[in-house]
């Protein structure tokens, strides 16, 4: 199993000792409070879980700018995206050296973490523009990641944190949410040394299933980590609990026992395309995975990125030796009517568009909402049934 990024051992920021946590929660009662954004809360969960190893807390403006410019902090640590705690109003913590961070995603806004404040800096419009364009490759406010990144404010509160809980993820996804620490431990118990990770924010249809199988066989891995995002998505994306049920049913019925480990992580989607693909690689290395599948338009949205930009960034911008994890580069994968199986499109050159079974997301939603079965070449019937029940329940609300 490969080492974590930036250190020999994982250093998660969650306070494991129950007595220490209780002590810190007591201390928090007397500390200045700061209600953080959903993005900052997700960053805290990822820091607490060990996914963002070896970071010790939120970045300052200089580190965030360095990361945006060349994927390096001021200390030289390789990192692909800013990890920030940015708010609209920092007046309530003026002069404070230690503050309690409140969770915006849980009723009653409980204390999520305690932060030692190293600096409170106002990010200029020019700096904000620079970071946005570098990380997202666009400043278009129609891009959901750009809109979210620019909506949280301009006051950057930097410094180390101690994480006291995992927000809503443990309670809402008790069978799925797992920390990087837990994943490493379980994979060691499985005896897995070589592991390929599959990132998903969607249900898995036949093409995704076969892509995992292809990577597993081509790389000769011991197992597959199916790792789903459990945080906030853009409007129209399928909720995490529905995705979870569909993916579990697919793995249960169509993969051999002990080859797939299904887990999830607590983070809001950035939709940052290439930069987010590199972030995905970093935290899968922290999980202990040796490989990550990076497919067509990985972590993209709309037409903001080229279909294989998320692969080329690893060759063109990630420095040699910056990461130990390796990338399995995948092409678009679909059912071939000629070959009667799912294949990567680049592996065949005698096909026309009529030789493939394609369904757009819109077409899938319409069919399922109307109670129509999806072609078995596109989706397993048991998966389609779970999605159909969801879409029909949503249609009934309208």
Active-site residue, 201 included = yes
Q: Read off the tokens for 27.
A: 């201390």
Task: Tokens for 55, please give them.
Answer: 């970071």
CA 91/CA 206 separation, integer angstroms: 52
Using CB atoms within 10 A of its CB, is residue 242 exposed (0-12), middle (13-18) or buried (19+)?
Answer: middle
Phi first, then psi: give them for residue 75, nearest 5 degrees. -85, -5
182 token code pair: 């837990």
CA angle at residue 192 from 189 to 195, to 5 degrees?
A: 135
Q: Which of 131, 149, 162 is nearest to 58 (CA)?
A: 162
C-alpha span between 334 and 38 (Å, rounded)? 35
Question: What DSSP string runs through 64-75?
Answer: HHHHHHHSB-TT
Give me 300's structure tokens.
């993209």
- Tokens of residue 199, six digits: 């990132």
Q: Which tokens hold the place of 261?
A: 């480990």
Q: Is 148 helix (H, G, I), strand (E, B) or coil?
A: helix
CB 276 within 8 A of CB 199: no
Angle 75-79-80 from CA coordinates, rounded to 5°: 140
Catalytic residue among 11, 202, 213, 365, which?
Answer: 202
- Distance, in Å, from the CA atom of 63 to the CA atom of 76, rounded to the nearest integer, reads 9
CB half-sphere exposure, 288, CA atoms < 13 A: 26
Question: Which has the closest alpha carbon to 50: 103, 9, 102?
Answer: 9
Tell me the three-class secondary structure of 317-340, residue by residue.
CCCCCCCCCEEEECCCEEEECCCC
Place of tokens 């879980």: 49
**154, 201, 213, 365: which is the annotated catalytic residue?**
201
CA–CA distance, 330 with 347 (Å, rounded to integer): 11
The residues annotated as belonging to the active site are: 201-202
């Amino acid at each position: 199993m490969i080492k974590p990024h930036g250190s020999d051992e994982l250093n998660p920021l969650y306070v494991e000792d129950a007595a220490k946590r209780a002590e810190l929660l007591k201390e928090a009662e007397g500390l200045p409070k700061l209600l953080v954004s959903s993005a900052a809360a997700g960053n805290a969960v990822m820091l607490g879980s060990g996914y963002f190893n070896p970071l010790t807390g939120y970045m300052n403006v200089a580190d965030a700018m360095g990361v945006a410019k060349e994927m390096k902090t001021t200390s030289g640590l390789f990192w692909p995206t800013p990890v920030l705690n940015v708010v609209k109003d920092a007046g309530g913590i003026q002069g404070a050296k230690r503050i309690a961070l409140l969770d915006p995603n849980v009723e009653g806004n409980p204390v999520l973490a305690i932060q030692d404040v190293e600096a409170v800096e106002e990010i200029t419009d020019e700096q904000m523009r620079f970071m946005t364009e570098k990380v997202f490759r666009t400043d278009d406010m129609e891009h959901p990641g750009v809109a979210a990144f620019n909506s949280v404010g301009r006051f950057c509160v930097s410094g180390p944190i101690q994480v006291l809980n995992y927000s809503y993820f443990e309670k809402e996804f008790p069978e799925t949410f797992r920390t990087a620490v837990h994943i490493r431990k379980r994979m060691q118990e499985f005896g897995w040394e070589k592991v390929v990770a599959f990132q998903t924010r969607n249900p898995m249809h036949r093409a995704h299933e076969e892509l995992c199988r292809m990577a597993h066989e081509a790389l000769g891995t011991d197992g597959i980590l199916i790792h789903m995002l459990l945080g906030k998505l853009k409007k129209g994306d399928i909720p995490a609990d529905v995705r979870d049920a569909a993916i579990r049913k697919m793995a249960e019925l169509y993969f051999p026992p002990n080859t797939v480990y299904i887990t999830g992580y607590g983070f809001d989607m950035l939709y940052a395309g290439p930069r987010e693909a590199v972030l995905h690689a970093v935290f899968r290395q922290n999980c202990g995975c040796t490989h990550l599948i990076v497919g067509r338009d990985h972590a993209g949205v709309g037409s903001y990125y080229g279909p294989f930009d998320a692969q080329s960034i690893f060759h063109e911008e990630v420095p040699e030796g910056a990461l130990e994890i390796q990338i399995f580069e995948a092409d678009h994968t679909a059912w071939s009517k000629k070959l009667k199986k799912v294949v990567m499109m680049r592996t065949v050159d005698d096909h026309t568009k009529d030789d493939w079974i394609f369904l757009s997301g819109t077409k899938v939603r319409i069919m399922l909402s109307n109670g129509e079965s999806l072609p078995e070449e596109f989706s397993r019937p048991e998966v389609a049934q779970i999605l159909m029940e969801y879409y029909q329940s949503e249609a009934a609300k309208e």
